[in-house]
Amino acid sequence: MTEHSINHFQVDQGKFPISALLQRIGDDYLLSIWGGAPHIGAVAMAQPRPSLADANRMSSTASVFCYVGHKEDELVRRISERLSAALSAKVVVVAGLHWDNLLHEEIAQVLSNADLLVSMILDREAK
């Protein structure tokens, strides 16, 4: 029997709230992330594998697609690889986050919120 579930997550730290919808499809995960002006900016597909540095540790490899002019590519790669390795599952992450004219420290806050979001997901999903 295949397991299927959907969970909503939200991080409201600072002035850059991020929302996410995590869908478990069998042993795989589909994560949608949005904030600011929601859209689809980039998609990453990650698959777990043994670490190249230490075969006793799980790692992950991702492929990324990014729409021209969008900057979510590194974010979806980092999130998909982190989740895939931790959950030993195939993970697809789609993200669209946009706020106008962010300063360096504001971008850092958005990335921090994304990291917190991933931690929340792992707290719920990690076995």
CATH of the domain at 115: 3.30.230.90
Q: Is 14 left (phi over 0), alpha (psi -120 to 50) or beta?
A: left
**Number of compact structural domains in the chain:** 1
pLDDT per residue over 11-34, tens digit each?
998 899 999 999 999 999 999 999
Indicate the pTM of the whole model.
0.92
- Residue 66: inside a domain, yes or no? yes
Q: How far is CA 54 from the centre of its chain?
A: 24
Low-confidence ranges of the chain (pLDDT < 50): 1
- Residue 22: inside a domain, yes or no? yes
Residue ranges making up the domain that contains 101: 4-121
- For residues 77 and 111, the answer to whether their CB atoms sit within 8 Å is no
CB contact set of 118 (below 8 Å; sequence gap of 6+): 79, 82, 83
- Residue 127: inside a domain, yes or no? no
- Residue 126: inside a domain, yes or no? no
- Residue 94: inside a domain, yes or no? yes
